[in-house]
Structure 1
Amino acid sequence: MTETTIRKPIRKAVFPVAGLGTRFLPATKAIPKEMLPIIDRPLIQYAVDEAREAGIEQLIFVTGRGKTAIVEHFDTAFELEATMSSRGKDLSILAPTRIQPGNLVTVRQQVPMGLGHAIWCARAIVGNEPFAIFLPDELMIGSPGCMKQMVEAYNEVGGNLISVLEVPEEEVSSYGVIKPGAKVSGSLTEVVGLVEKPKREEAPSNLIISGRYILQPEVMRTLEGQEKGAGGEIQLTDAMAKMIGNQAFHAVTFAGRRYDCGSKSGFVEATLELALERSDMAADVRAAIKRLAATFD
């Protein structure tokens, strides 16, 4: 039996959604930041749609206090659907918000101790399977989606994978950056090290980590004993760095666009660009942009 035939498929995905969203206050005082809409779909919906496209079956939300709206978004809204149906309205627009019974699981991160700790909170549900991680703040737009590109790469090489994007050298100090190895094949790059927010002159590459991961379950055992890192938090990057050299580790350069929707400017940019791609509103939005540009020029 070959390695390809015994490789476990990627069936589960972890969504760390316990963050406070302080950069978007006061909007996020009562609404989870993951529920802020890009046009007419909340951020979390984009990530879930991307996961489903990649063949992922079980969605694991690592939540915190005040995050119930995320789970309710993917529940059946009987009153809404009954009212729409009685008025002859099309219910297909709600189809992406429905999750099959048993396919959505939530766990609590009671204390905000970092991304690594949030992932570790899902250890019992992940079990002994490889799994994906989605950071919903990172809106990835492509065809196929970012995770589907990664799953296709995983089916080829196995091990651990992270999505990366090429950025100008002057921007590397704002991100986690990979140290590439000698093996490069198409969009796949061997990873031999990870550096968090290096100085421009010390950066090993200009390939930044961009919010999508496929990791082997052994990372949970690494996180179990992981000491606090940057910001006094348990960092996922530190745990991944310890796995390099012990398991295959590759980066997949995403063929698509990334929007940092954790920042206000990135959120606005994503909204405008996606609006300009929609036939039902592109003309009106383009006209509004021209009018506003002339006003504030």
Structure 2
Amino acid sequence: MRKVKKAIIPAAGLGTRFLPVTKAMPKEMLPIVDKPTIQYIVEEAIASGIEDIIIVTGKGKRAIEDHFDHNFELEDNLVKKGKFDLLEKVKDSSNVDIHYIRQKDPKGLGHAVWCARKFIGNEPFAVLLGDDIVQAETPGLKQLINQYKETQCSVVGVQQVEENETDRYGIVDPIEKKGRRYQVKQFVEKPKLGTAPSNLAIMGRYVLTPEIFTFLDKHEIGAGGEIQLTDAIQQLNEIQNVFAYDFEGTRYDVGEKLGFITTTIEMALQHDDLRGELLAYLENVVVREKIVK
């Protein structure tokens, strides 16, 4: 049985929803409390048993490489000042074996995954998107890997969304259900409102067999004028089963402004040193807004 040991994290997007800050800072480095968003993704991969990670970057993304590198001057300074708790946090972001490759042209998610094909070789692999942070007792990706072990087939992570949001996601058309796992008739990328076959949306976590590259090699243009990973998954599903798994856990959408803000608040409330004062502040905001109205 082939083990899932490698993961791709696409991080080449322009981050236009967060301009102007993303003109100088990669979207993936925007902090949620005290950690950049991409670190949450890397930590999930490691907790899921991934041994090698490749991050697909683009122009202006050097800060990602610097973050996961050693900073000897900073570490030495923290040692001299006896700030060992901060030292451990800094080391957590550098004790990972991460590889990098550039996506030279922004041709879409499918193309970003295709750029890492030589790193993957002929092995099953994972893909984790940085717009989705998942908190779960069993890491979200680990749940998919467990399903791959059982089926030896590709597995896509899904959760239910509101009907009026289905045009924002890849949507699955399920045939039958076994526990939380669905056999899928069709994968549809961002269907028009009112045409979605279900409200089961793909949530940025995948375990894929290497045969996916057979279809990504074609560089077929899909929705939005880009090479879509969902389209290649649908083609793969026509020659071998690709399952959808409704993974357990809370998914936070950090790919747009409101989701990023609410995620930051949720994460801050999980910090004992911030929770009390933050709750008091939020209560004051609610009272103030009621008075204004």
Matched, 1:256 2:249: yes
Separation in structure 2 between the aligned mates of residue 272 and residue 8 of structure 1, nearest angstrom: 40
- Counterpart of 2:136 (choices 108, 129, 142) is 142
Name 1:167's counterpart in structure 2: 161
The answer (yes or no) to whether the contact 2:189–2:223 under 8 Å persists in 1 is no
Name 2:12's counterpart in structure 1: 18
Name 1:71's counterpart in structure 2: 65
Local SS of the residue matching 2:272: coil
Offset of residue 257 of structure 1: 1.2
Name 1:226's counterpart in structure 2: 219
Separation in structure 1 between the aligned mates of residue 231 and residue 47 of structure 2, nearest angstrom: 29
Bigger shift: residues 134-143 or 122-131: 134-143
Offset of residue 25 of structure 1: 0.9
- Counterpart of 1:194 (choices 172, 177, 187) is 187
Name 2:44's counterpart in structure 1: 50
The answer (yes or no) to whether the contact 1:30–1:66 under 8 Å persists in 2 is yes
Q: Following superposition, which runs of at least 4 residues in structure 1 exceed 3 angstroms of deviation?
A: none
Separation in structure 1 between the aligned mates of residue 119 and residue 190 of structure 2, nearest angstrom: 31
Local SS of the residue matching 1:94: helix
Cα distance per residue 1:191-219 (max 9 Å; x no partner): 12112223454322110000011111111
- Counterpart of 1:96 (choices 92, 105, 109) is 92
The answer (yes or no) to whether the contact 2:68–2:93 under 8 Å persists in 1 is yes
Name 1:115's counterpart in structure 2: 109
Over the residues paired in the alignment, what is the CA RMSD in angstroms? Answer: 1.2
Local SS of the residue matching 1:155: helix
Q: Which runs of 5+ in 2 are unaligned?
A: none
Percentage of pairs with the same residue: 45
Offset of residue 67 of structure 1: 0.5
Cα distance per residue 1:150-192 (max 9 Å; x no partner): 111111112111100012223223321101012x221111112
- Counterpart of 2:77 (choices 76, 83, 86) is 83
| Aligned residue identity for 2:214 | R
Separation in structure 2 between the aligned mates of residue 229 and residue 199 of structure 1, nearest angstrom: 14
Cα distance per residue 1:227-253 (max 9 Å; x no partner): 111121111111111011311211111
Separation in structure 1 between the aligned mates of residue 55 and residue 192 of structure 2, nearest angstrom: 34
The answer (yes or no) to whether the contact 2:181–2:244 under 8 Å persists in 1 is yes
Name 2:121's counterpart in structure 1: 127
Separation in structure 2 between the aligned mates of residue 21 and residue 201 of structure 1, nearest angstrom: 28
The answer (yes or no) to whether the contact 1:158–1:248 under 8 Å persists in 2 is no
The answer (yes or no) to whether the contact 2:188–2:231 under 8 Å persists in 1 is no
Q: How does 1:261-272 map to 2 (within 5 A)?
A: 261-272=254-265
Separation in structure 2 between the aligned mates of residue 94 and residue 107 of structure 1, nearest angstrom: 24
Cα distance per residue 1:102-127 (max 9 Å; x no partner): x3111111110111111100011010
Matched, 1:157 2:117: no
Bigger shift: residues 135-144 or 191-200: 191-200
User: Alpha carbons of 1:198 and 1:258: their partners in 2 closer, same or farther (altered >3 Å)?
Assistant: same
The answer (yes or no) to whether the contact 1:226–1:239 under 8 Å persists in 2 is no
Q: Which runs of 5+ in 1 are unaligned?
A: 1-6
The answer (yes or no) to whether the contact 1:163–1:252 under 8 Å persists in 2 is yes
Separation in structure 1 between the aligned mates of residue 270 and residue 279 of structure 2, nearest angstrom: 10
